[in-house]
Structure 1
Amino acid sequence: MTSKEARDTFIKYFAARGHRIVKSSPVIPQDDPTLLFTNAGMNQFKDIFLGKRERPYPRATSCQKCIRVSGKHNDLEEVGIDGHHHTFFEMLGNWSFGDYFKEEAIRFAWELITEVYQLPKDRIYASVFTDDIESERIWSKFLPNNRILKFGMKHNFWEMGDTGPCGPCTEMHYDRGEDFGRIEDGCFINSGCERFVELWNIVFMQYFRDEDGNLLDLPMKNVDTGLGFERLVAILQNGKTNYDTDIFLPIIRRIEELSGIEYTEKTAMPFRVISDHIRMLAFSIADGGIPSNDGRGYVIRRILRRAARYSRMLDVKEPILYRLIPKLTELIGDIYPELQQREQHITDVIKSEEEQFNETLDRGLDIFKKLANKAEENGSRTIWGEDVFRLYDTYGFPVDLTQIMADEKGLIVDMQGFNREMEKQRARAREASSFEVTHTLTSDWKTVKETDTHSVFVGYEKVAVEANVVKYGQDGEFYLLVLDRTPFYPTSGGQASDRGWITGKEMRFSVEEAFRDGETIIHKGKLISGDIEENVVAKIDVNRRIATARNHTATHLLQAALRELLGEHCHQSGSLVEPERLRFDFSHSKPLTDEELLEVERLVNDSILSDIPVDIYECPYEEAMEKGAMALFSEKYDEIVRVVEVPGVSRELCGGTHINRTGEIGMFIIISETGIASGIRRIEAITGTSALEYIQHQRNIMSEILSSLNCPKEKVLDRIESLLEQIKGLKREKEQLALTASSANITKIIENAPQVENSRLIVHRFNEMTRDVLFKQLDIIKSNLPSGIAVLFSKTADDKVAIIAYVTEDLRLKHSISAKDIVVEIANVVSGSGGGRDDIAQAGGKDIDKIDDAVEEAKRLLARLMVR
């Protein structure tokens, strides 16, 4: 049976028994910020189990994409070592929400496994919770007593958390035979041996554990099951491991083609790691993940780098991971169409990350080799924490890779020392970080009217409203007011809050900001006149609201245009909507071309010119999702959600304020497009009167340019090109003069440099000069330096720092000194970065004020290098 047939068979079996077929949710959770990745089939039903959402159907079945790489459910370290753990896997499942319970659940599982999949009945074992007499009784109808085993809380009792729904579980295990272990040798159920495979886990949620640890009966009993798809297929196809199936073998064969190395028992580990990790990477990126330095992005980056490191074990130095994506898409793109739709994006992201990391990996491997040799030579057999941290911090070299390579050489990694260095870095970051804005009361709240302080927001329908002041307090020079009802939209979802006035008979209060504290909306501002009164009128600044609404609706149109032009991988990763401008961050692996930016601008303006009515309505969350509404991955949504729809263009879950028709936006202009992190781009844009003012400003600038150049508009480019050529000529003359003047001093610079073992250590700062002239200075030094190191500094015309370094061959061989290492370390002082070769390298820095500090650091560094 093929894997596709096995998957279809499961779904069809339960669909024929009244189960609703539910599509797999994304591996990036869309409505559960507590999860990094979807790690079980029940994740999308969690709110039903918790009683927070109505059950739309009594029975369900699904094949869920899952990732387990962190936290309690972490299979990462097992991947590649054994044959059945994975970072990405598919979980087949069936669920009952207060419908059937133990009898039917166990019978369904037995019937499907033994009669439909036709696995031998004498190979099946069942485990049950010690106190679950009912499950034991049901299993006895199908199995002899010696194949029904009892286990305690660790193996056969499932809990969602310290409190909440829980219950006993029963598991089906499959005996693969004595080739995988002998019972006499201690190989048995839950012993960890390869012979007995845990196949299916069936959880009976019949209790609720309260805060005191008591187990209370649930009024509605649920069933939650999970059957490991890859394990099932391995058994059906008689594979020695999960990797010896049609799920993985086509990918492994492709790795063989790319590496020229055959997949054997001896070479298996890198093949398994890569074929597993590429699935995790493809699905996480397809569902909106992106490699980065924190959160789930860091996990994705770590997995990618782990796979890249293992490709080196196959003697592959060129990026190969991205070249596996077409094969993966070919295999399961029809089952998971998101792989087909976003294939190019997935490929681009992985290729970019691989190329960046390969350079880091090369440099890190060289440094690790030196550290390993040093550890072996001095007898400590330890790679010290400071060195591990330098590999991590300076070269971005993953700590787990350092540990893997150290293990391979029988060396110890000083993790305590590494953790100390990490804590020092965190302390430095905390000291340097900007303070978080908080609202602190400098006086206690004063109650004006006894009532529920949960403010009612009426701002969707009204711009002014009569209200009662519930309470107020002070935050320095500002007052904080709480009203029983308010039209002020509080800062939320990236949208800036309303401003306006709260007035009474004598009271006049200027609202500078509105924000939420739980369900309460707090108005922050200044009391201009009078005292705080109970009965007031709250009125927003309508022009500000309209301008903000223009930009918010334009943001929706922008996301729709990006997804239409670049692909559905473009997901919002952040936004800021203000009256004056909008900012939109989205996932994309490379900068937009000028042509793409113009097309995005055109698409948005086409929607504006079409003057489409904006529909805003509420509906159940699942209904909105089925209609294709866009949702933020990081948000948690209620059962009933607010949908903002521009028919035929955009549909998003959104609580913000919007205009009534797209034509009210007026005009949309992109101001900038930049990268803010790996795989994340940012567009800033303006609309309405801001866009008009921008055009008028540009027109005024052009008039001033034409006046200054004293030429007609059609000749302005020719005139500018002519002036640029003149400037280049003058720069060349200036550089030649500077070179002539400073060349006379080169001999003195060399002679005055300190000398160690007949080698000169030259560290010199020149006055302002270009990088090209600096290299010419180095050329003169090189021709007069038989042995030594030269590190040269200069300020550039744009107030940046230029650094170049050179190391003679004898020092590179004798002391393993690298010019690249030197510039990378020194560049940190001036907030820069660098690269190059062991003999010659260069760097640049942003912090010109630290150039003298960098010069002194260079002197200290060279002195240390010469004595090691």
Structure 2
Amino acid sequence: LLFTNAGMNQFKDVFLGLGSRPYTRAVDTQKCIRVSGKHNDLEEVGISPWHHTFFEMLGNWSFGDYFKEEAIQWHWELVTEHYKMPKERLWATVYEGGEGVPADEEAEALWYQVTDLLPGRVVRLPAKDNFWEMGASGPCGPCSEIHYFLGDDLEAQTEALFRQDGPEFVEVGNLVFIQYNRDESGALHPLPAVHVDTGSGFERLCSLLQEKDNNYDTDVFRPLIEQIAEIAGSDPDGDSTRVPMRVIADHVRTLTFAIADGALPSNDGRGYVLRRILRRAARFGRQLDQHDPFIYKVVSTLAEQVGHVFPEARAKAAHVSQVIRAEEESFGKTLDRGLEIFERLAAKGDVSGADAFQLYDTFGFPLDLTELMSRERNLSVDTDGFSEALEQQRQRARAATRNRFQALEGIDDVVAGEHSRFIGYGQLETQTTVAHSESQDGQVRLVLEETPFYAESGGQVGDRGVLSGDGFRIHIETTLKGRGGIVHVGQLGDGALPASGAGVQATVDAGLRQSSARHHTATHLLHEALRQTLGDHVDQMGSLVDPDRLRFDFSHFSAVEAGQLRQIEDIVNETIRADLEVETFEEDLTRARELGARALFGEKYDEQVRVVRIADFSLELCGGTHATHTGQIGAFELTTEGGIAAGTRRVEATGGAPASTMARQNRERLGDLGQMLNATPEEVPQAVRQLLERNRDLEKALTDARRQAATDSAGDLLEHAVDMEGMRLVAARVDVDDVSSLRSMADGLRERLGSGVAVLGGELQGKVSFIAVVTDDLIQGRSLKAGDVVKGVAQLAGGSGGGKPHMAQAGGRDAEKIDEALA
């Protein structure tokens, strides 16, 4: 699941019986995004009055507490007494029954018993409308909805009109009664505990309460639309501008909330969904004649509008604006060119899969954007052909990438009993028992009942070490976390692979573990130093921690300046020298967040989490291993900084012994350079600058000499010119070092020809090159063009080319045919 798309996502474990909460009732507002998969409202946005890519789902929940009677009674009270919706406009629906499930007569009766809903206003509907299921199997149950009549004539309300499912009625809320479990065979069984999920779309409720016939005219959207209209200088309600402005207003909400929560546009996963949405909005901006970045300007208005409910939107507004602006600038460079190409392709008719893929691969057009523009012209897109071209590209990419070993999946499926209890925070060796062992592709893999080996997770690599026992010794090369357990992967050194139940001494390589721990603690110091130096928008986007180095990816939209890097490094080293205590403790997730502990975006956490506190400097959720005091890190040195994606930077660093080794190696390299340059370490930079400047002067002098020699050679070539029909022709194979020299020679020939054509050819650095020149009088008087001349010559050598009328260049494939082509 890339995004939360329904209010129940966070409570799915409760409904499945896999988890619980310390409460039985809840009320919430859930930020939801629907842009892909089963729940996909993207194409309806801006056209439909009700559909959005982002919306708030208001929820009331009962976990084994109240059920149908209270849910119906209280929701009716909310709608009629608090929202003041006229009762004469309200209808209800219940499940009509089917597939072995009886009609929900209980809910039907309750609507008349515990509310004053008008008689005849409860309608039975089939499963597609009134039976909710989480998936092909799992918890499910009938649901009951409240609908509101939008028409002017109250007497026009009939059950027949309601069943037409037309625009006259709109859903207000949905009460889901989760009372069954569907097994793998499709059979339904009553749940031991029943639940209620009541949901209402906030934006739709606003339209009803503000008496608007669509969500976009409410105070949720109108301020955004009016700002877009002001930027574009357009009418927000114009026939040609209404839909583009509504789409942009919707999309900026989705982008703002997602980016504020830590997501970033990228080329895969949720990041690509955001990139698609942003590029779709940018294209609609072109319909408003907006060719410069502008969407980012709307973020501040939205942040002020929702900041009192969602403070992260206000806190991250500057960061969100920066991200969106950078994306707009990046895509803007190719959008206009892509639109030109699309117009050319569309002029031919329906868009082929290959053409759609070209727009995607070359100009960054998501497929749905190409489909949207095609629909506007009543054209279709060959999506199957696009998918085939995309899959071919992925296969090429996979073929170019070496296979990577993945941890065992479903360990609990093959390993019975208790296993994989991790004891490695407090000890690095133990006597334990083999719970499972296997050999595959020259590697051995073992699961132990308990283990001191840390499994790769949270960016930290898995431990290495030794497993030994009666008649065997195994060198563990890495430790991986599979679904349900810890897998030790390595090579059998001596003896035979032990069977399940065998005793084993598990010993972690203490030196490597301690190095990894130092680097992991250093990443926490680095994270905080980055935030102090660059701003609170910095969030961790990924990391790698191993014994030799650390790598840290973070959100930031420009290169980190040299002075900032020095400041970051200084902050980390000052904290190391302060020898601050590193404390780890278990805490309830909610309480940890209240304390201010930072979490990694996209990471799933249990209700109980491990917190790492470094005095008053840093507080993060982390399951990795750490030093006990910052002084144990010893030293910290940044090695590289660069961008890895739009809005994401990467730094690499070393600490402890590797940092000391690197410093020593750098001193030795500097000493070697000093000896070569006859300079002290302090004088080396200036000596290198002087050397480079002198080298540039020599290269320029050499280039000039070569060009002059080539120009002088033009006189020799003219001696072999052939007169034909009043013009001079030169065709010769020449020996030059580079294309610049070839051009200089051709230029010299053109100046001295008077009236004529010259073609030169040669093999330059293993490649066949031709160049042709034509004098101005022949271009104007006889319509001769150098491009046509060189193209014809190059074809004889298996190549092609072209250029301007007075000079054109071409390449060839067969060097043996150069002389034949020039003959």
TM-score (norm 1): 0.79
Do 1:570 and 1:587's aligned partners in 2 also have CA atoms closer than 8 Å? yes
Classify the secondary structure of the residue corresponding to 1:383: coil
Paired residue for 2:325? Answer: 351
Paired residue for 1:82? Answer: 48
Paired residue for 1:432? Answer: 400
Paired residue for 1:215? Answer: 188
Classify the secondary structure of the residue corresponding to 1:322: helix
What are the ranges of 5 or more consecutive residues in structure 1 without an aligned counterpart? 1-34, 376-380, 441-446, 753-761, 811-817, 819-837, 841-851, 858-868
| Distance of 1:395 and 1:804 partners within structure 2 | 32
Q: Are 1:680 and 2:680 an aligned pair?
A: no
What letter matches 2:701 in structure 1? E
Paired residue for 2:702? Answer: 734
Paired residue for 1:250? Answer: 223
| Distance of 2:560 and 2:445 partners within structure 1 | 44
Give the alignment partner of residue 160 of structure 1, picking from 134, 139, 149. 134
Give the alignment partner of residue 312 of structure 1, picking from 273, 283, 286. 286
Paired residue for 1:196? Answer: 169
What letter matches 1:252 in structure 2? I
Paired residue for 2:374? Answer: 406
Paired residue for 1:139? Answer: 111
**Cα 1:662–1:111, aligned 2, differ >3 Å: closer, same or farther?**
same
Deviation at 1:683, TM superposition (A): 1.3
Do 1:793 and 1:804's aligned partners in 2 also have CA atoms closer than 8 Å? no
**Cα 1:417–1:508, aligned 2, differ >3 Å: closer, same or farther?**
closer
Paired residue for 2:233? Answer: 260
Classify the secondary structure of the residue corresponding to 1:243: helix
Deviation per CA, 1:322-381: give whole Å up to 9, x if none: 1111221222223222122111211111111111111211111111222233x1xxxxx3
Paired residue for 1:456? Answer: 421
| Distance of 1:400 and 1:188 partners within structure 2 | 33
Paired residue for 1:48? Answer: 14
| Distance of 1:782 and 1:627 partners within structure 2 | 79
Deviation at 1:104, TM superposition (A): 2.0
Do 1:181 and 1:194's aligned partners in 2 also have CA atoms closer than 8 Å? no
What letter matches 2:449 in structure 1? D
Q: Are 1:668 and 2:668 an aligned pair?
A: no
Q: Which moved more, 1:572-581 or 1:267-276?
A: 572-581
Give the alignment partner of residue 276 of structure 2, picking from 302, 305, 308. 302
Do 1:128 and 1:170's aligned partners in 2 also have CA atoms closer than 8 Å? yes
Classify the secondary structure of the residue corresponding to 1:41: coil
Deviation per CA, 1:500-555: give whole Å up to 9, x if none: 22334664433322334444434333444455664442222111111111011111
Do 1:58 and 1:96's aligned partners in 2 also have CA atoms closer than 8 Å? yes
Paired residue for 1:330? Answer: 304
Dislocated runs of 4+, deviation >6 Å: 179-186, 744-749, 764-768, 772-784, 792-796, 802-806
Do 1:349 and 1:679's aligned partners in 2 also have CA atoms closer than 8 Å? yes
Flag the structure with more relative contact order, 1 or 2, with Cα contacts below 8 A and sequence separation at least 6.
1
| Distance of 1:781 and 1:68 partners within structure 2 | 66
Alignment of 1:426-505 (within 5 A): 426-437=394-405, 452=417, 454-504=419-469
Q: Are 1:611 and 2:579 an aligned pair?
A: yes
Q: Which moved more, 1:153-162 or 1:203-212?
A: 203-212
What are the ranges of 5 or more consecutive residues in structure 2 without an aligned counterpart? 97-102, 409-413, 722-730, 774-778, 780-786, 788-802, 815-823
Q: Are 1:94 and 2:60 an aligned pair?
A: yes
Paired residue for 1:755? Answer: none
| Distance of 2:34 and 2:442 partners within structure 1 | 50
Alignment of 1:614-653 (within 5 A): 614-653=582-621
**Cα 1:178–1:519, aligned 2, differ >3 Å: closer, same or farther?**
same
Deviation per CA, 1:406-458: give whole Å up to 9, x if none: 22233333334333323332333333332233689xxxxxx9xx984723332
Deviation at 1:173, TM superposition (A): 1.2
Q: Are 1:236 and 2:209 an aligned pair?
A: yes
Give the alignment partner of residue 128 of structure 1, picking from 91, 94, 100. 94
Deviation at 1:599, TM superposition (A): 2.4
Do 2:89 and 2:154's aligned partners in 1 also have CA atoms closer than 8 Å? no
Do 1:180 and 1:195's aligned partners in 2 also have CA atoms closer than 8 Å? no
Q: Are 1:116 and 2:82 an aligned pair?
A: yes
Q: Are 1:512 and 2:480 an aligned pair?
A: no
Classify the secondary structure of the residue corresponding to 1:146: coil
**Cα 1:768–1:273, aligned 2, differ >3 Å: closer, same or farther?**
farther
Do 2:736 and 2:742's aligned partners in 1 also have CA atoms closer than 8 Å? no
Deviation at 1:776, TM superposition (A): 7.9
Do 1:674 and 1:682's aligned partners in 2 also have CA atoms closer than 8 Å? yes
What letter matches 2:300 in structure 1? P
Do 1:668 and 1:687's aligned partners in 2 also have CA atoms closer than 8 Å? yes
**Cα 1:126–1:483, aligned 2, differ >3 Å: closer, same or farther?**
closer
Deviation at 1:197, TM superposition (A): 1.3
Give the alignment partner of residue 146 of structure 2, picking from 141, 166, 172. 172
| Distance of 2:474 and 2:3 partners within structure 1 | 46
| Distance of 1:316 and 1:778 partners within structure 2 | 46
Alignment of 1:726-805 (within 5 A): 726-742=694-710
Deviation at 1:180, TM superposition (A): 13
Alignment of 1:681-720 (within 5 A): 681-720=649-688
**Cα 1:397–1:95, aligned 2, differ >3 Å: closer, same or farther?**
same
RMSD, matched Cα: 4.2
| Distance of 1:612 and 1:594 partners within structure 2 | 27
| Distance of 1:126 and 1:502 partners within structure 2 | 66
**Cα 1:410–1:530, aligned 2, differ >3 Å: closer, same or farther?**
closer
| Distance of 2:388 and 2:762 partners within structure 1 | 33
**Cα 1:522–1:279, aligned 2, differ >3 Å: closer, same or farther?**
closer
Paired residue for 2:547? Answer: 579
Corresponding pairs, count: 756
**Cα 1:470–1:313, aligned 2, differ >3 Å: closer, same or farther?**
closer
Do 1:551 and 1:577's aligned partners in 2 also have CA atoms closer than 8 Å? yes
What letter matches 2:107 in structure 1? S
Deviation per CA, 1:279-331: give whole Å up to 9, x if none: 10111111111111111111100000100000111111111111111221222
Deviation per CA, 1:471-490: give whole Å up to 9, x if none: 54434554444443332223
Give the alignment partner of residue 66 of structure 1, picking from 16, 29, 32. 32
| Distance of 2:406 and 2:172 partners within structure 1 | 51
| Distance of 1:371 and 1:256 partners within structure 2 | 31
Deviation at 1:102, TM superposition (A): 1.8
Q: Which moved more, 1:705-714 or 1:106-115?
A: 705-714
Q: Are 1:368 and 2:342 an aligned pair?
A: yes
Classify the secondary structure of the residue corresponding to 1:64: strand
Deviation at 1:181, TM superposition (A): 13
| Distance of 1:768 and 1:199 partners within structure 2 | 78
Do 2:64 and 2:195's aligned partners in 1 also have CA atoms closer than 8 Å? yes
What letter matches 2:391 in structure 1? E
| Distance of 2:172 and 2:812 partners within structure 1 | 64
What letter matches 1:41 in structure 2? G
Q: Which moved more, 1:694-703 or 1:67-76?
A: 694-703
| Distance of 2:450 and 2:812 partners within structure 1 | 62
Q: Are 1:545 and 2:513 an aligned pair?
A: yes
**Cα 1:499–1:421, aligned 2, differ >3 Å: closer, same or farther?**
closer
What letter matches 2:278 in structure 1? L
**Cα 1:148–1:692, aligned 2, differ >3 Å: closer, same or farther?**
same
